[in-house]
Structure 1
Amino acid sequence: MPPIVDGLAAAFDLSASAAGALTTVPVLCMGLFAPLAAAGARRFGESATLALAVGLLGAGCLLRAVAGVAGLYAGTAVAGAGIAVAGALLPSVVRGRVPDRVGPVTGLYTAALIAGAFLAAGLTEPLRHALGLGPQTVLAVWAVPAAVALVVWLLVRSPGTARGGPRVPLPWRSGAAWLGTLFMGTQSLLFYGALAWLAAVYTRLGMGAARAGLLLALFSATQMVFAFAMPVLAHRFGRLPLWTVGSVLVTTVGLFLVALTPWPFAATPWLWASLLGLGMGGNLSLALTVVTALAPTPRAASAYTGMAFLVGYVLAALGPVALGRLTDLTGGYRASFLVLGAVGIVTAVVGAAASTAVGRPERVPAP
């Protein structure tokens, strides 16, 4: 959506706030609908629920390409709901099928998620020109990967967990679940805050829009490195808290560097964006690994992830808005990135506590 949001705003005469909602709505949906994953898995089974979620994603991609403004927003919300259910259910699938390799497999699919987002952002505008489509119609193209994924899943899936069984509520009374939730929420806030304002920092300092777009592309591309590597290293060498703190501190250092020394040398923006990307990728994959591992059973993993997404992505959606307000008040981006750096320090502490809690028995009260 971001590469064509200006074209959509011009086509439908959308205000800046209305256009910004097109990227905020999916993030909110990812939080609000994530708890449905556990209920769906209990009613229909994990495999069937995941297939339904991917089908919902494809349907949302088609809907947002038709029916004008109403279809644009409705389809975006439907796609966000599909992403929410699938995203909350994947950790449970991983935990149930490869319990001895949760970290590496989580790193693999997290890197794939980042790669998919990177390719979609980079290819949408070229595809629009190549196919001669409008800024709304081209969005239908992204129903194709969802359809392919659905067919592949239906061909290779195993039955997964059986339907029925005891209801697994969201673990609101679990201290470990709250640690994982806060870790997911704060690292998500760091990511969406940096994503929203990193390019703006440098365009205000004189960088052209095209180069700022390349800067964001570098930020996205470097995320794949640590997203894959960090869980693998933690799995191989142990000491999960050490890898967690290290990844968050890489991010935090990058945020403070952007705030305090944004452009002393020509290569500085590219170095800082790379540093931020490396840290952000590791943060996401490690947060998913930690939340999944904190759950006492594979079935409970979807409930733990649902709670983490519900709180975490709602917090992440509000973060850029609050930082934008701070930017308006201060007249620049330094204060916003200093605040993000402070949140990074908090994230390192919370992440260390959450990863330390992995493997510890916890007395969870019965529902």
Structure 2
Amino acid sequence: MTISLDRPGTPGKHRRTPAAHGPREHVKALGTLEPLDTVDSLNTVDTLEPLDTLDTLDTLDALQALDTLERLGEPTEPADPGERQQQHLAGGALILAGIILVAANLRLGVSSTGPLLDQLRDRLHLGAGVVTLLPTLWVVIFAFAGPAGSWLARRHGAGSVLAASLAVLVAGSAVRGIPDVPGLLAGSVLAGTGIALGNVLLPVVVRTYFPHRIGAVTGIYSTMIALGSTVAAGIAVPLSNTLGGPSTGLGFWAIPALAGLALWMVSHPHRRRHDRTVAASGAARQAHIPLKSLAKSKLAWAMTVAFGLQSMSGYVVMGWIPTVLHDHGMSSAAAGTVLSVTFAVNAPLSFIVPLTAARLRSQRFLALVLGVVFGLGFVTLIIAPVSLAYLAAALIGVGMAAFPLVLTMIGLRGGTPEGTAALSAFSQSAGYLIAAMGPIMFGVLGHALHSWTVPLAVMVAVVLVQGVVAAYVGSPKRGTLISDSGDSGSMTPAGN
């Protein structure tokens, strides 16, 4: 006798697995069924032999309950190939939208701090030490909190840890809204921790869910980072004036962070379905790569130096350039506008550069050009910091495209999600330690010499070295970092 497994009124709606012909076979088959399949199979009298004991029934009920709980919230997989493709595209679009909104939040708090530094100093009566610390604090937090991203992702999944990092960012941004020094510092530590985890995990998420679109997706989220920086720098001072003070202006950024968290949580069922699909396909999973093993890799150290130097220059720009311009007679609002021009120029390049880099076999020439242009921007600030401020901003904006270039090379040179996670955590943690010296050096030299000429000249040298090291990483001879029988130092041709 043949019994249909389709529910009445919905023929062919769901795919079915042929029933087993005995209790043991049926129990084994339950692991491959959808929750509705399990119910139908249990209700199909000819597919089960009489059960010997009540324990067997309890086992079947437990399996069904566990399977239902595990799949709770996951969209049902349609049988029709066209519907399946549409569902997968919709899920991918939702994950991409989540990545975009997460990325937009990764520099809002950082970029809004520089233009408000003078207001914060006056309102909260900050000493010179705290003023110098604030632009550096972010980088130090990134250095120490970043390595935890790889460790947590390995245990809980990159997507789940990214959600937790957004929750921490929301809390930190809200605490920064408290108008006192402890609130400012504690909130910055919390917000910086959330951003640090996001910095490390976004390349991993891109490699996991868009392995064949690394350049394009990295370009999109790098563009959103630049756009977020543009908006935050441009409206920081007007927003502070509207909301009644710089602390409230900083606390405002908890709102977009909360929106990013909400959207990322909405994409959870689709991310989980993707993970289950990959696991069911039997795709080989690379072994974990301990961060300490990367200390033997020339590629990892070169990536670290390239990342550290470009981060150093970037955080000097975000933290100190408005002060440099203000000390030369420009108003705080105008200085914030100049900084926003830097990010506005950088925004389209943040998409174009990764897309171009991913299609090139070698990224050497691109890395060198960006380093030279970056240096010309700092030279322009030395020559005419006010009259040529917007030209300097444009040149620096072009040079700061080194950031998305390095992010793209992390994805390309990582080779696998595990390799990317290890390379991202290693290069960002050690790289941010290198970067932390930049804002401190810049502030100390500027205040000690009562001039910004020497600090700016040092930054010219920094970005030129950055270009040379990034060119070394961009050579196809460097290969990709892989895990082969536990040897994280193994290298294969880059092939891109």
Counterpart amino acid of residue 262 in structure 1: A
May I ask how many residue pairs the two structures share in their alignment?
Answer: 362
**Aligned-partner Cα distance in 2 for 1:363–1:64:** 41
Deviation at 1:97, TM superposition (A): 1.7
Structure 2 unmatched runs, 5+? 1-112, 280-284, 489-496
CA contact (8 A) 1:107 1:228 kept: yes
Which residue does the alignment assign to 1:40?
A: 152
Counterpart amino acid of residue 95 in structure 1: R
1:35 aligns to what SS in structure 2? Answer: helix
Counterpart amino acid of residue 349 in structure 1: V
CA contact (8 A) 2:414 2:482 kept: no
Equivalences for residues 85-104 of structure 1 within 5 A = 85-104=197-216
Larger radius of gyration: 2
CA contact (8 A) 1:53 1:85 kept: yes
Asked if 1:66 is matched to 2:178, the reply is yes
Deviation at 1:210, TM superposition (A): 3.8
Deviation at 1:335, TM superposition (A): 2.2
Which residue does the alignment assign to 1:348?
A: 467
- Give the CA RMSD over aligned residues: 2.7
1:57 to 156, 169, 176: 169
CA contact (8 A) 1:185 1:311 kept: yes
In structure 2, the CA distance between the partners of 1:326 and 1:169, relative to structure 1 (3 Å rule), is same
CA deviations 1:62-85 (Å, max 9, x no partner) are 222238432321121011001111
1:244 to 364, 367, 372: 367
CA contact (8 A) 1:50 1:89 kept: yes
2:213 aligns to what SS in structure 1? Answer: helix
1:3 aligns to what SS in structure 2? Answer: helix
2:296 aligns to what SS in structure 1? Answer: coil
Larger helix proportion, structure 1 or 2?
A: 1
Which residue does the alignment assign to 2:487?
A: 366
Which residue does the alignment assign to 2:314?
A: 191
1:31 to 130, 143, 150: 143
1:274 to 380, 394, 410: 394
Deviation at 1:16, TM superposition (A): 2.4
Counterpart amino acid of residue 381 in structure 2: V
**Aligned-partner Cα distance in 2 for 1:172–1:130:** 49
Deviation at 1:209, TM superposition (A): 4.1
1:141 to 241, 252, 261: 252
2:140 aligns to what SS in structure 1? Answer: helix
Equivalences for residues 147-162 of structure 1 within 5 A = 147-157=258-268, 158-159=271-272
My pick for the range that moved more, 338-347 or 73-82, is: 338-347
CA contact (8 A) 1:33 1:84 kept: yes
2:134 to 22, 45, 64: 22
Counterpart amino acid of residue 2 in structure 1: G
Which residue does the alignment assign to 1:121?
A: 233
Deviation at 1:54, TM superposition (A): 0.7
**Aligned-partner Cα distance in 2 for 1:65–1:205:** 30
CA deviations 1:266-319 (Å, max 9, x no partner) are 4x2211221111111x10000111122221321221221111111222222221
2:190 to 64, 73, 78: 78
Deviation at 1:121, TM superposition (A): 2.9
2:455 to 317, 325, 336: 336
CA deviations 1:133-174 (Å, max 9, x no partner) are 443234332111111111111112302658998543212222
TM-score (norm 1): 0.89
In structure 2, the CA distance between the partners of 1:325 and 1:66, relative to structure 1 (3 Å rule), is closer
**Aligned-partner Cα distance in 2 for 1:351–1:52:** 32
TM-score (norm 2): 0.67
Asked if 1:226 is matched to 2:226, the reply is no
Deviation at 1:354, TM superposition (A): 0.7
Higher normalized contact order (CA 8 Å, seq sep 6+, divided by chain length) = 1
In structure 2, the CA distance between the partners of 1:165 and 1:227, relative to structure 1 (3 Å rule), is closer
Identical columns (%): 31
**Aligned-partner Cα distance in 2 for 1:85–1:134:** 29
CA contact (8 A) 1:34 1:84 kept: yes
Asked if 1:5 is matched to 2:117, the reply is yes
Deviation at 1:8, TM superposition (A): 3.2
In structure 2, the CA distance between the partners of 1:22 and 1:325, relative to structure 1 (3 Å rule), is closer
Which residue does the alignment assign to 1:168?
A: 289
**Aligned-partner Cα distance in 1 for 2:327–2:116:** 21
Deviation at 1:51, TM superposition (A): 0.6
In structure 2, the CA distance between the partners of 1:161 and 1:83, relative to structure 1 (3 Å rule), is farther
Deviation at 1:193, TM superposition (A): 2.7
CA deviations 1:205-233 (Å, max 9, x no partner) are 44444433322221222111221111122
CA contact (8 A) 2:114 2:318 kept: no
Counterpart amino acid of residue 302 in structure 1: A
**Aligned-partner Cα distance in 2 for 1:292–1:213:** 33
In structure 2, the CA distance between the partners of 1:115 and 1:363, relative to structure 1 (3 Å rule), is closer
**Aligned-partner Cα distance in 2 for 1:61–1:124:** 14
CA contact (8 A) 1:46 1:161 kept: no
1:305 to 424, 427, 439: 424
My pick for the range that moved more, 236-245 or 47-56, is: 236-245
Deviation at 1:57, TM superposition (A): 0.6
CA deviations 1:167-191 (Å, max 9, x no partner) are 4321222211111111101111222
**Aligned-partner Cα distance in 2 for 1:291–1:211:** 36
CA contact (8 A) 2:412 2:480 kept: no
Deviation at 1:112, TM superposition (A): 0.4
Counterpart amino acid of residue 312 in structure 1: G
CA deviations 1:183-205 (Å, max 9, x no partner) are 10111122223344434444454
In structure 2, the CA distance between the partners of 1:318 and 1:138, relative to structure 1 (3 Å rule), is same
**Aligned-partner Cα distance in 2 for 1:345–1:4:** 30
